[in-house]
Chains A and B, each alone.
Chain A
Amino acid sequence: MALLSKKDRALILDPLADNNPITIQVLGICSALAITAQLKASIVMALSVLFVVSVGNVVISLIRNIIPSKIRIIVQLIVVAALVIIVDQVLKAYAYELSKQLSVFIGLIITNCIIMGRFEAFALANGPWRSFLDGIGNALGYSVILIIVGFFRELLGSGTLLGIQVLGDPITKTGLYAIGYENNGFMLLSPMALIVIGIIIWVQRSRNSKLIEEH
């Protein structure tokens, strides 16, 4: 990683663990609960957010000196909206089934707090290259959690991964199902996603005592 200086590296690595947008800042929870019942949907959502937040960060960073500060939120919204529409149209054109499954949640990327948060907190005050890295880092932090949650929910809830039956066939009773195993329907419901994220937060905080607030 000679390409990146130590400071730049922190931009990418920090949001992955110690400053994770989902588990530490608890942002972007809405989509994390709604679309993680399947791993594929989680991955597509993660990629969409990766695109929107990294490109958006660069755009905002480039025009940061000419945005009147009174209307900066509106300008930011327009940038996000434009990018989200691009993602939405691409998905509709090339992955129609998946786009139907993700339904309104692609559109709702606009309201994902992570994106506006990065624009406000970082892109408005930093150059394009650093903003780009920051966007990548935060989107990756978001993606990691989404993919972990999606992995467990799909595996335990449907017995599949990316649509492939990995635990056997529940109807013809092969694999694990032959000995009486059954899918956990609770995993497919959103409350369980919240519990899974809660468990991830629990594990993370108990491994890293830096994260525990003092009372």
Chain B
Amino acid sequence: MSLKNKLHDLKMKYKGTKMAPAFNALHTFLYMPNDVTHSGTHVKAADDLKRTMNTVILALVPCLIFGIFNAGYQHYAAIDQTLRLDPLGNFFTWENLTLGAWTVLPLVIVSYVVGLGVEFVFATIKGHEVEEGYLVTGMLVPLIIPIDTPLWMLVIAVIFGVILGKEVFGGTGMNILNPALTIRAFLFFAYPTWMSGDKVWVHEAVERDALISAGSNLDAISGETILGTYAQNQEPIYSIMDMFYGFIPGSVGETSTILILLGGLFLLYTKVASWRIMLSAVIGALTMGLLFNGVVDAGWIKDGSNFFGLMSVPFWEHLIIGGLAFGIVYMATDPVTGSQTNKGKWYYGFFIGFISVMIRVFNPAYPEGVFLAILLMNVFAPTIDHYVIQGNIKKRMKRLKIKSA
């Protein structure tokens, strides 16, 4: 008997019991159901929730693979700086792959196992079908955290994020906040020493630091991000092309702008993500960057000021450093938590870009704010929609009055 039939039999056996949703989800996730509707009028469309989710995951896979190589590359390059002279030649190597896989894949596995576990438990308790929402979240989470995040922290954060970011609101499609960003925000506020600083972005930098302070004769690893370097009013050691291709330290999957760009184009081509949000977010970030550049050019801010370094970053460079591109393409465009109206999407996206760069410059503790900006705008998305709809109603009422008068 094939696995498919076994699953079908299991499903039939548990039909109507509490465990039914769990078996049903397992069956339909792996195979097409044995029984499908044959008669009657039904909309036949391929783009169900599962297909949408899979499209986003496909778009994320290049970032994940790049992130795996980059994890190894950053580790070896931090020990031997000469590797940085030829990033492309030293990037796709076997050592980078094995080390990266060894560090990144556990994050992916833990994220999926814990998150889907919570989903299954809640589906069983509440008696609804298991929803596919976590498939994308589970892939996003390992890509937006530092490489050496301890797994038990990830477990706690995922449980917190899935329950309080999604399940309390009624599950997939009902959530106010993006669950992946809720998880990231929880980690950031709960364990700040593991989420920021110049040691967390490179594998084993923290351990090595501890060994050195204990008296070992080793070279220190420094893996300051570009934003962190700017925040200290220093010039980064990476070239623009390094930043664009992504040979820089950062969260696991957010460094390579070119792959994010490709993933974004794929999402736009499949019409899964909204081009309005992406475009307006880019415009918003550029606007804020230009404003800050203007402030610096006008000489209103002194060379030694805390904000000088970040304010004088060329406005377009904001797009290729830090997590801005990743946030705009994969997380701001989340159809559930974003604005629903077309006009609202312009405002929503614009403020995400605008506020991201603002937080970046003015946040003294942590020079990055994309996830905070998106979470903030998640909260305001329904308000934006409300005013867009009210404005439309008002306009039509006026037209009606003129007609009837």
Which residues does A use to contact B, with CB under 8 Å? Answer: 180-182, 184-187, 189, 192, 195, 198, 202
A184 is contacted by which of B150, B168, B191 (Cβ under 8 Å)?
Answer: B191
Are the CB atoms of B168 and A180 closer together than 8 Å?
A: no
Query: Do residues B190 and A187 form an inter-chain contact, with CB atoms below 8 A?
Result: yes
Can you report 6 residue pairs joining A to B where beta carbons are below 8 Å apart?
Answer: A180-B150, A181-B152, A182-B153, A182-B191, A185-B190, A186-B186
Residue B189 interfacial (CB < 8 Å): yes
Q: Say whether B192 faces chain A, with CB atoms less than 8 Å apart.
A: yes
Q: Which of A180, A181, A185, A195 contacts B192 (CB 8 A)?
A: A185
Task: Pick the residue among B150, B189, B191 that contacts A189 (CB under 8 A).
Answer: B189
How far, in angstroms, from A202 to B191 measured CA to CA in the complex? 26
B155 → chain A, closest Cβ, in Å? 12
Chain B residues within 8 Å of A185, by CB: 189-192
Count of A-B contacts judged by CB separation below 8 Å: 23
- Chain A residues whose CB sits within 8 angstroms of the CB of B193 once the complex forms: 182
Closest to B187 in A: A186
Residue-by-residue, is B339-373 near A (CB-CB < 8 Å gives 1, otherwise 0)?
00000000000000000000000000000000000
- Known contacts A180-B150, A185-B189, A185-B191; 15 further A-B pairs (Cβ under 8 A): A180-B152, A181-B152, A182-B153, A182-B191, A182-B193, A184-B191, A185-B190, A186-B186, A186-B189, A187-B190, A189-B189, A192-B189, A195-B164, A198-B168, A202-B168
Q: How far is the CA of A192 from the CA of B189 in the complex (A)?
A: 10
A187 to B, closest residue via Cβ: B190
Q: How far is the CA of A184 from the CA of B193 in the complex (A)?
A: 11
Do most interface residues of chain A lie in helix, strand or loop, or is the interface mixed? helix
Closest CB-CB distance, A195 to chain B, in whole Å? Answer: 6
Minimum C-beta distance from B308 to chain A (A): 29
The CA of A192 and the CA of B185, in the complex, are separated in Å by: 12
Q: Report the separation of the CA atoms of residues A64 and B104 in the bound assembly, to the nearest whole angstrom.
A: 70
Report B-chain residues with C-beta under 8 Å of the C-beta of A202. Answer: 168
Chain B residues, CB < 8 A from A195? 164
Complex-state Cα separation, A192 to B164, whole angstroms: 11
* Residues of chain B within 8 A of A189, CB atoms compared: 189
Contact mask for chain B residues 194-223; partner A; CB cutoff 8 A; 1 contact, 0 none:
100000000000000000000000000000
Residues of A contacting B150 in the complex (Cβ-Cβ under 8 angstroms): 180
Q: How far is the CB of B353 from chain A (nearest CB, A)?
A: 25
Q: Which residues of B are found within 8 Å of A180, using beta-carbon distances?
A: 150, 152
Which residues does chain A contribute within 8 Å of B164, judged by CB atoms? 195
List the A residue with the shortest CB-CB distance to B153: A182
A-B pairs with lowest CB-CB distance, top 5:
A186-B190, A186-B189, A184-B190, A185-B190, A185-B192
- Closest chain A residue to B150 by CB distance? A180
Taking the closest CB of chain A, its distance from the CB of B80, in whole angstroms, is 29
Q: Min CB distance, B199 to chain A, in Å?
A: 15
A186 cross-chain contacts in B, Cβ below 8 A: 186, 189-190
A16 to B194, CA, bound (A): 40
* A194 vs B33: C-alpha distance when bound (angstroms): 44
Note all chain B residues with C-beta closer than 8 A to A182.
153, 191, 193-194
Which residues of B have CB within 8 Å of A181?
A: 152
Nearest CB in chain B to that of A181: its residue: B152
Contacts of B186 in A (CB 8 A): 186
Closest to B164 in A: A195
CA separation between A175 and B190, bound complex, in Å? 20
CB distance from A149 to the nearest CB of B (A): 16
CB within 8 Å of A: which of B171-199?
186, 189-194
Chain A residue at smallest Cβ distance from B190: A186
Smallest beta-carbon distance B277→chain A, Å: 27
Write the chain B residue with the least CB distance to A195. Answer: B164
**Neighbouring A residues of B152 by C-beta, 8 Å:** 180-181
Q: What's the Cα separation between A186 and B152 when bound, in Å?
A: 16
Q: Separation in Å of the A153 CB from the closest CB of chain B?
A: 12
Chain B residues whose CB sits within 8 angstroms of the CB of A198 once the complex forms: 168
Query: B181 to nearest A CB, angstroms?
Result: 15
Inter-chain CA distance A181–B190, complex, in Å, is 12
- For residue B200, give the distance in angstroms from its CB to the closest CB of chain A: 13
Taking the closest CB of chain B, its distance from the CB of A203, in whole angstroms, is 12
User: Complex Cα distance A52/B273, Å?
Assistant: 57
Q: Tell me the smallest distance from the CB of B223 to a CB of chain A, in Å.
A: 21
B206 CB to closest chain A CB (Å) equals 12
Taking CB as reference atom, which chain B residue is nearest A206? B125
A207 to B: closest C-beta gap in Å: 13
* Complex Cα gap A198–B168 (Å): 10
Query: How far is B234's CA from A163's CA once the two chains are assembled, in angstroms?
Result: 42
- A192: nearest residue on chain B (CB-CB)? B189
Max chain A C-beta neighbours (<10 A), residue from B153, B186, B189: B189
Please measure, in the bound complex, the distance between the C-alpha atom of A132 and the C-alpha atom of B53, giving whole angstroms. 60
CB-CB under 8 A from A187, the residues of chain B are 190
Contact with A along B137-179 (1 / 0, CB 8 A): 0000000000000101100100000001000100000000000
Determine the distance from Cα of A78 to Cα of B228 in the docked complex, in whole angstroms: 54
In the bound assembly, the distance between CA atoms of A180 and B193 in angstroms comes to: 13
Contacts of A184 in B (CB 8 A): 156, 190-191
- The docked-state distance in angstroms from the alpha carbon of A184 to that of B194 is 11
Query: How many angstroms between the C-alpha atoms of A189 and B192 in the bound complex?
Result: 13
Q: What is the bound-complex CA distance between A185 and B192, given in angstroms?
A: 8
Least CB distance from A49 to B in Å reads 28
CA distance A202 to B192 in the complex (A): 28
CB distance from B186 to the nearest CB of A (A): 6
A78–chain B nearest beta-carbon distance, Å? 41
